[in-house]
Structure 1
Amino acid sequence: MSFSLTYGAEAVIPVEVNLCSARVAGFASNENEELMAKELNLLEEHRDVATIRLAEYQQKLARRCNRAVRRREFAAGDLVLRKVVGNTRETSAGKLASTWEGPYRVTAIAEAVAYYLEDLEEKPLHRPWDVRNLKKFYQ
């Protein structure tokens, strides 16, 4: 961990080097070199500890974010609404435009989180849609 090697010791400003202060007078270069060599030997251990701490942090963050996730599953034949994304939104509609369009019918499951859709006139949409962009349509 380069931070601990760099900032782990007290810094001496250039003015103090010229003056005879307690820190400058008690400085032993041989002892300092030995301590720095020990720190270099522990560098891999410091990196491993930092990597483990980072992985723990990311796992805690993922658990916290995933708590609010609700799983949605659709079956073939369900009617769903599709979220209007920026490039398919009507440009003249303004900010009060609808954010959902449809209804569409689920025809097949592409993956665990993607579905093939068709409109009510049985015209299929070109690509599978992610479950995050769909919601159940209730009549």
Structure 2
Amino acid sequence: MTCKGKWAEELPWVLWSDRTTPKTSTGQTPYSLVCGTEVVLPTEIMVPTARYGLLKNDVNNAELSHDKDTVDELREMAKIRVAAYQQRVANVYNKHVHIRTLCVGDMVLRKTFQNMMDMTAGKFADTWEGLYLIDAVVGRGEYRLATMDGMRVPRAWSALHLKLYHV
């Protein structure tokens, strides 16, 4: 293990590669969003490429001033792409969400939480308990419950923890 403890020496190169890699959400590199221009890699300076080796100073200065003038447009386009990307991610996530609407008077079962389970039952313990009636709709997806005898259950319960009981 001769490399142990050498991560601190490699960290600047890892950060450099992260900052110069285009991100999916923005379509730009973080470096270009901050500085307004694409980075010139150290290898392009050592081994001249068409992008770096054939550029003259006056053309380079004109390109840099153009990049500084258009950096705000670049950032606005990145904001638009981020919003579109977040919308796509939310659509994929919400594709499997099923809204449960319960009405007053519906019979439901309530999820049994681990602190309420019988510890001696093991893996065969009940995961749903009781038979309750929806007494009132408190808010969006929140319900007050009552036992079949009419006694109110303390606090409101989320629809995530309730399951409709079919007779």
State the TM-score bracket (shorter-chain normalisation). Answer: 0.7 to 0.9
* 1:68-107 equivalence runs, <5 A: 68-107=96-135
Larger helix proportion, structure 1 or 2?
2
1:89, 1:67 → 2: CA distance? 32
1:111, 1:131 → 2: CA distance? 10
* Count of aligned pairs between the two proteins: 136
For structure 2, which runs of at least 5 residues remain unmatched after alignment? 1-27
Residue matched to 1:124: 152
Partner amino acid, structure 2, of 1:63: N
Identity of aligned residues (%): 28
1:87, 1:111 → 2: CA distance? 26
The structure with higher relative contact order (CA 8 Å, sep 6+) is 1
2:131, 2:63 → 1: CA distance? 70
Runs of 4+ in 1 over 6 A off after TM superposition: none
For structure 1, which runs of at least 5 residues remain unmatched after alignment? none
With normalisation by structure 1, the TM-score equals 0.74
Partner amino acid, structure 2, of 1:8: E
Deviation track 1:39-71 (CA, whole Å, cap 9, x = no partner) reads 222222111111111211222233333333333
Aligned partner of residue 102 in structure 1, secondary structure: strand
RMSD: 3.0
With normalisation by structure 2, the TM-score equals 0.64
